[in-house]
Structure 1
Amino acid sequence: MVKKLVIVGNGMAGIKCVEEILDLEPDQFQITIFGAEPRPGYNRVLLSKMLQDESSFEHIVTHNWAWYEENGVRLYAGERVCNFDIAARTVETETGIKEPYDMLILATGSLPFIPPIPGARKRGVIAFRDASDCETMAEYAQTYEKATVIGGGLLGLEAAQGLLNLGKEVGVVHNAQYLMNRQLDQTAAALLQRELEQQGMWFHLAKKTVNIMGRNRVRGLMFSDGNRLETDLVVLAVGIRPNIELVQGSGLKVNHAIVVDDYMRTSIPDIYAVGECAEHCGISYGLVAPLYEQCKVLAKVICGRETTPYEGSIPYAQLKVAGIHVFSAGNIREEGNETAVMEYDGMRGIYKKVMMRNGAVTGAILFGDTAESTSLLGMVRRGAPTTELASQDRGVSRAEEAAAALPEEETVCACNGVSKGTILRAITTDKLKTVEEVKSRTKASASCGGCRPLVAALVKNGLSRSTVSEAVVTLTDQEVVPVCGCTHYDHDSLKTAMVAAVCRTPAEVVSRLGWTRQQGCELCRPAVLYYLESLGLREISASSQLAGDVAIQTTAQHGGEPVSASLRFVNFMGLNGESQLFSESNQIGGEAWVEAVRLKERLSAVWGSRALPAPIAVAVCPGPEYPGGVLVRDIGLSRSPAGWEVYAGGHAEHPVRQGRLLGVEENAEEALLMAIACLQMYRHNARYGEKMWEWIERTDVLVLRESVLDAALRSGLAGMAGSLRDYNSDRVTG
């Protein structure tokens, strides 16, 4: 017999329950959903994207109208349930629709908390909770210029970022001493505030709003200290409260929210509650992940399946606005905890703090780089011993390291309950090659997106373990541009595939990586040869071939010069405007000039004929009186009162680029090592034909600078290049 199942609430909890039930028992129930909003299901986590990306509502829809029809689910959209009769087992809407039920799930969600501030109901004061609120904010933003968000938590900052993206002047008023005070410590909050201020946001912290001024509509705010703030628009984002109006006086046990047991059952048989309107063990959760965990348990209960009880959730939060990545999980307070790990990189804006109690991990904060969020969340949930906090191997990215260390049964996407094993099986079975494909297939990263770096690392790892003849693409949302028409590989994935397939000759590249033209073309032939050499897979000779008797030219033209001509030195000019050649006979600058000459000779000898992705122009100058265009050359070394300045990434032609200062060394020896290390990083990481300034702008000059300033790493890079074989026999001294 088909049972009548009614769900009150078409939000993320209600729809998730239906999805789980359909997966278990697609034919057991006649399902009816009542939704107060006149919309299909959408991702509330992405509401701010409607403002930030100026995208339409359709971009955040998770279940379109067709989904309900295809799954036999009857949806009453725009119908608010105002009453339910426990004895008659019916629910009734404000328009008079009555629906009988055998089982009832209450998923009414939450309402925005409206603080008791005089003037909170004035025109121009908006709550931020649903899609209609976003549309109202966007409409008001067309008329008014100055907006103020009351609330410096997750929701408030997302709303503020959305308004900022619309070109408004945006401020945030927060009653605490620092932002996101429930999820962050002062260090992480200061980093967050600095980033947001650089984007144009301003803040009034430790301010209590006591009045929203204006006769008919908002004109400003008054604070408890007597100060005032003019504003045209006020957004309230100070919290939420469970939506329990429907059940008041119904006989259901209610505390702060609808009280449920470990199986999401209320105090009345056949009535269940889930999500933000439910209270379990005294806690009602306002986050997506706990909501989904509850839905999985409830679906099995509804379908009569055995299930483990719901035992509560570890609260965690992720903020992802305008490229700022923040993660917090568990208990991050100092009281009762100790600091297990703390890392702070002010130059790159990266912060990590892990808390512990009695040798067990209790909480974590990540700022700037959240690749470890999933593994740390797992540790917090398990109360893992701090011995699991192994030191990081900087040879790979944090995301790749975290992906490799994660057990297959561990959850990667906490929002949707997707494990590492599920993702890897989908990649292998369905031959998935991008994060978007994984998201579509498994829903991993489909909600808040915080696990996206880890999913990307799993895609990369999964591809490297699968058949390498499959096309490998980059893991970003950007369009992949193949090297040429002979292959579907772009430059980055080509290098990865060549290493994975252990290709040592051009012929092996053709056969193992599925080239469509056996002889290659003028674009891929030199690229293949260059990567074989630069990756250390094979020494390249002039007679190397891709296939058959077709020879490869190692001097493909780029900007009129062959790539094999790796370094070109630029003459500097004296004060008289005449070109000064690097020659012992032109000794006009004393000791500094001799140093410059020897630096040029040593750099040329050390690098030899070793190829680079594109021709490199080098300027070595003994001082400011001998301008050699140091700032507009790929590599520039210039003597200064403090020592030798080393620059990289300059470009003298269109588009003109000024070189970035990598560092200053007291002696020429260390400056030379710094330049060699920079060239080595460029040689191994850049794409064939990519100029140095293009490579630096595509990647991160801070990472380059950090690497070449590390003395040990610098020497290691120089050694990798084989650059010290002649260097140590005749050192340049300063």
Structure 2
Amino acid sequence: MTEKKQSLVIVGNGMATGRLLDELIKRDVSRFNITVIGDERQGSYNRIMLSPVLAGETDVPAIIGKPSAWYRDRGIRFVSGVQVKAIEREQKCVVTTEGNRLRYDHLVLAVGSRPAKIPAENQALEKIYSFRTLRDVDRLLNVARFHDRDARPTDTDALVIGGGLLGLEAAYGLALKGLRVTLVHRSGWLLNRQLDKTAAGYLQKVVEAKNIQFILSDEVVRFTGSHELKAAEFKSGRTLSCKLCVIATGITPNKELGLQAGLKGSRGVAVDAYMATSDNSISAIGECVEFKGATFGLVEPIWHQCTTLAERLCYNLKLPFENSAVPTKLKVSGVNLFSAGDFLTSDEHRELLYCDDNAGIYRKILLRDDRIVGAVLFGDTRDGQDYFAMLQSKRDVSDIAPFLLMGRAFYGTEPDQTAAA
């Protein structure tokens, strides 16, 4: 007698779900009938590529990895443009905003995150946008298409809030559309969670050449206008006229659906090392989860979460997820950046430093007890993975320390992959 297939329902259709489906298909999904519920109409797409779409360097079809036909061809039911408003755990059902109930044997929450809020007044004014979805990009492109190119040269067309990677990418994309952009960041330098002040200074010089101005160590406290944005008022007392604003200051995990259903969690939906929640019939992955107090915004650890969950669902194998260190590799405005481990020099570090202002190259390696504990590279990142391998293995580099900044061609050995005894 043929065993009845289990109903596997996945809520959310972002990058985590796209990767999980790939991992499930690699294995044996014959025991499941899979349903994917997503609140956006299109299939899973690469959010990392939203900036090139905004900049006109690629188009929407190129970043949609799984169009509707992909699901159909693999026997996966795709329910698009629908939100899940509640989980009925006792009945093992999810309830959509349309009032429909879908039963599950196992439920996966992959509901991602939303843009973080800023403490500024009047954020409901028109022409204030997030930068998170294809819909956001479409709105920005429409505004950019019709902006007034005859305005005074000193006017600001677009204000971007957030000096992290997302804010820089949004600013760069808008500048390529011909808008005069001002980026505001409350820290004293850009990418302050990945770069030291010197490396950030190199980056700022490059980005300023793209018709982007900066307001640092300040923040917006109020937007003004009747219905539509006209200006932004700052904590410092200054006022800046602007025609649109993009808020790109980070993400907040979408934990509410899980927590309202009684699942454990604080910053996100809590999971164990096998991506299981406090309900044995519910798992969670991606930006909505909390693991040992940590939440996730980078793709690499989320890919590992997908592998762990696929192993458990398909084979009942326990391959524990580990939240190991991940290097940050960034490419902003065509500039290569690499950061891993410690990036701010303190008294406990031995600092190795190389700067070439003419070539725009900056390299800093931080050592503690003759072991690499951090690296910041700007302009030339070719040896970043080598440094990271030595950082992970805790290799004693005292014998090659004088040559480290010059790269593998000079220190001439393969990084030791084994931890020091």
TM-score normalised according to structure 1 size: 0.53
The reply on whether 1:181 has 2:184 as its aligned counterpart is: no
The reply on whether 1:265 has 2:273 as its aligned counterpart is: no
Q: What SS class does the counterpart of residue 195 from structure 2 fall into?
A: coil
For residue 167 of structure 1, the aligned residue among 162, 178, 196 is 178
2-structure distance, mates of 1:402, 1:3: 56
| Cα drift, residue 320 of structure 1 | 1.4
Counterpart AA for 2:93: T
The reply on whether 1:327 has 2:330 as its aligned counterpart is: no
| Cα drift, residue 186 of structure 1 | 0.5
2-structure distance, mates of 1:402, 1:10: 46
What does residue 207 of structure 1 align with? 218
| Cα drift, residue 330 of structure 1 | 2.2
2-structure distance, mates of 1:142, 1:244: 36
2-structure distance, mates of 1:14, 1:197: 37
Cα deviation code 1:161-195 (max 9, x no counterpart): 00011111011001011111111001100000000
If asked which structure has higher relative contact order (CA below 8 Å, sep 6+), I would say 2
The reply on whether 1:221 has 2:232 as its aligned counterpart is: yes
The reply on whether 1:239 has 2:250 as its aligned counterpart is: yes
2-structure distance, mates of 1:347, 1:5: 57
Aligned counterparts, 1:408-423, within 5 A:
none
For residue 99 of structure 1, the aligned residue among 82, 102, 108 is 102
What does residue 121 of structure 1 align with? 124
Cα deviation code 1:693-732 (max 9, x no counterpart): xxxxxxxxxxxxxxxxxxxxxxxxxxxxxxxxxxxxxxxx
2-structure distance, mates of 1:91, 1:295: 22
What does residue 80 of structure 1 align with? 83
| Cα drift, residue 53 of structure 1 | 2.6
Q: What SS class does the counterpart of residue 382 from structure 2 fall into?
A: coil
The change in CA–CA distance for 1:401 and 1:243 in structure 2 (over 3 A counts) is farther
The change in CA–CA distance for 1:261 and 1:356 in structure 2 (over 3 A counts) is farther
The change in CA–CA distance for 1:304 and 1:138 in structure 2 (over 3 A counts) is same
The reply on whether 1:5 has 2:8 as its aligned counterpart is: yes
| Cα drift, residue 323 of structure 1 | 1.4
| Cα drift, residue 393 of structure 1 | 10
- Contact 2:400–2:411 (Cα < 8 Å) also in 1: no
The reply on whether 1:194 has 2:197 as its aligned counterpart is: no
Which entry has the higher C-alpha Rg, 1 or 2? 1
Q: Structure 2 regions of 5+ residues with no counterpart?
A: 149-156
The reply on whether 1:311 has 2:322 as its aligned counterpart is: yes
- Contact 1:336–1:357 (Cα < 8 Å) also in 2: no
Q: What SS class does the counterpart of residue 225 from structure 1 fall into?
A: coil
The change in CA–CA distance for 1:224 and 1:392 in structure 2 (over 3 A counts) is closer
Q: What SS class does the counterpart of residue 181 from structure 1 fall into?
A: coil
For residue 312 of structure 2, the aligned residue among 273, 276, 301 is 301
The change in CA–CA distance for 1:408 and 1:32 in structure 2 (over 3 A counts) is farther
| Cα drift, residue 405 of structure 1 | 4.2
Counterpart AA for 1:361: I
The reply on whether 1:61 has 2:64 as its aligned counterpart is: yes
User: What number of residue pairs does the alignment pair up?
Assistant: 406
The change in CA–CA distance for 1:344 and 1:11 in structure 2 (over 3 A counts) is same
The change in CA–CA distance for 1:393 and 1:253 in structure 2 (over 3 A counts) is closer
Aligned counterparts, 1:694-733, within 5 A:
none
The reply on whether 1:150 has 2:164 as its aligned counterpart is: no
Q: What's the C-alpha RMSD, in Å, of the aligned pairs? A: 2.4
| Cα drift, residue 399 of structure 1 | 9.3
For residue 303 of structure 2, the aligned residue among 273, 280, 292 is 292
2-structure distance, mates of 1:198, 1:107: 39
| Cα drift, residue 222 of structure 1 | 0.9
- Contact 1:46–1:60 (Cα < 8 Å) also in 2: yes
Identical counterparts, % of pairs: 35
**Higher helix proportion:** 1
TM-score normalised according to structure 2 size: 0.90
The reply on whether 1:41 has 2:15 as its aligned counterpart is: no
The change in CA–CA distance for 1:169 and 1:399 in structure 2 (over 3 A counts) is farther
Cα deviation code 1:564-619 (max 9, x no counterpart): xxxxxxxxxxxxxxxxxxxxxxxxxxxxxxxxxxxxxxxxxxxxxxxxxxxxxxxx
| Cα drift, residue 403 of structure 1 | 12
Q: What SS class does the counterpart of residue 336 from structure 2 fall into?
A: strand
The change in CA–CA distance for 1:190 and 1:89 in structure 2 (over 3 A counts) is same
**Higher strand proportion:** 2
- Contact 1:327–1:373 (Cα < 8 Å) also in 2: yes
- Contact 1:149–1:159 (Cα < 8 Å) also in 2: yes
| Cα drift, residue 263 of structure 1 | 1.1
2-structure distance, mates of 1:367, 1:10: 35
| Cα drift, residue 322 of structure 1 | 2.8
The change in CA–CA distance for 1:85 and 1:315 in structure 2 (over 3 A counts) is same
| Cα drift, residue 94 of structure 1 | 1.1
Cα deviation code 1:210-253 (max 9, x no counterpart): 11121211111111121111111110011110011212321100
What does residue 578 of structure 1 align with? none
Q: Structure 1 regions of 5+ residues with no counterpart?
A: 410-734
Counterpart AA for 2:40: E
